[in-house]
Every structure is written in C-alpha cells, then in structure tokens.
Structure 1
Amino acid sequence: MKVLDLRCDAGHVFEGWFASEEDYQGQRSRGLLQCPMCNSCAVEKALSAPRLKAKSNRRLDGDAVPVASAVAAPSEAQILAQLHARWLAHARAVLREGENVGDAFADEARRIHSGEAPERLIHGQASVQEVVELLQEGVPVLPLPEAASEPLQ
C-alpha cells in the first residue's frame, strides 16, 4: 500500500492510499482523484517526508516524521455566514459612500450606463418593473438588503 500526500490547485493537502504507483497514475489519468475539501480534480503529489522504518529494538523520539496537515474546510454554515457578512458590508459601503439619487435611480443608472453621466456609485429607489427593465437593458443593478441601513448593535 502506498500512502501519498496530495495537493489540489487550491492548496489543500490531503492523503491518498493506493495499491501502487501505477494505481495512483491510473486514477489520476482517469480523473478519479478529487480534493475532499473543494472537489477540485486538479490534484498532484505533494512533497512528503520519507517514512523510514527504524530498527524494531530502537525508538528515536526526536526523529518524528512530520505529517502534512490538512487545511480544515469551513462548514457550509460558516461559508454562508461569511458571504452574508461580506454582502452586508458591501451594501453598507454603497449606502455610506454612494450618492442617494432617490426615485430617479432608474433614470440615473441608465444615464451612467450609457455614458451620459459620470460613472459613480449610486443608490435609490426603483420599482420591480424598473429593475427588470434595467436588467434587460444590461444595466447592472442589485437590491440592497434592509439590514444594510439598520445601525449595528
């Protein structure tokens, strides 16, 4: 049995067990190797320390073989919480730094998109119909969450 340290293109290090070097090569060439943390199929062998067998009557406490440590993958809940926090921070920045154009949002967004008005960060109010029309015209708009305008406790 061959135990190999593997690394994906995202830098996650994990262990793979193979019957032989040929088994590893065969699985890799068929795209069967996958990172357990990010599901990337771009997997390569990582450098690993050799595993030397010491004499059975001797133990070298100071010569421990370093083992590659795997990066702990965040849970789905942690990822969602991070994304929500980033989105809320971005929305608050838009409200803080952008120009409030009020009910003229749709018209001003069109003017900026067409180059008639200087490009800048704006926010305001638009109806659902206006938002749909803006998106159909290729004008990038996003609704800001109400929590963005609420003060932090």
Structure 2
Amino acid sequence: MIKFALICDQKHRFESWFQSGAAFDRQVEDGLITCPYCDSVQVAKAIMAPAIARGATPPGQNVPCPGSQTAPQNLETIEASPSLPTGQDDGGLREALEHQRELRRLVIRLHEEIHAHAENVGDRFVEEVHKIKDGVLAPRPIYGQASVEEARDLIDEGIEILPLPSLPDEWN
C-alpha cells in the first residue's frame, strides 16, 4: 500500500491510500478518484516528502506490521491482489460514484436554498416556532437547532419540522 498526497484542479489538498502507483493511475484514468471537497475528478499527485523509515532493520529483512502475524514475503503477492474494478465491468461502481456526487450536489444546493430564503434563529428555534404557532410572530421560514427531545415534542404538538441533512464535508 502507498499513500499519496493529492490535489484537485481547484487546489484542494487531501491524501489517499492505493494498492500501488499503477492502481492510482488506473483509478484516475477511470474517473474513480474524486476530491472530497468539491467532487472534481481532475485529481493529480501533489508534491510530497518521502516517508523514509529509519531503524536497525537490515536491508531485505521484512518487519511485521503492528497487529499482524507476519509481513508478506514478497511484493508480487501484494501486486497480484485485485484493485478496484476498471473498464466496463465495474460492478456498478461508476454508477454508485455518480449517485454519490449527485447526492452531494443536492445536499449542498438544499443548504444554499435554505440559507438564502430562511432565517437562522439558532438555539432559539423551539421558542420561535412556538411564537409563530401561537400567532405572536408572523409566519416566516426559519431554521435552527433543537435537541432530539425538543424535536419530538414539537412533532407531538403537531408542528411539522424536518431535520436538515449535514453537508458533505461533515460526512467524514
């Protein structure tokens, strides 16, 4: 396994692990790697400092990984293991990735619409909802925070509320 520092065309930096450099190249070519910040598929390796292990292990001697019994005896075993599917028989991976990208776009768009057309009342949400329900305040679109218990109480009172899904950058 190898970890690469990556950068997208929007200059977002992130890291990811790959089976090999060739596996990275195949996945980039197939559009399987996306920026976790903007979903761009224009991803490349970023400049990074090499991680060089220092120690008393003689050259050519394998060192077991923590938590494992033994290390692989040759690299061919690692290279022969399957990587992510490529080509047309990808087991639906491309479609799943496109659905994920679309879901991210929709959640971001939903947040933009709510922020543009509703007032953020923050932790006063429950209080504001009651004032609107009781006619103390004029009806208006609002959003804010409520505990699970407060949300249940509002629903029990017949007040229709919906949770706002978290943004994609909060999914990690």
Q: TM-score, normalised by structure 2?
A: 0.35
Greater gyration radius: 1
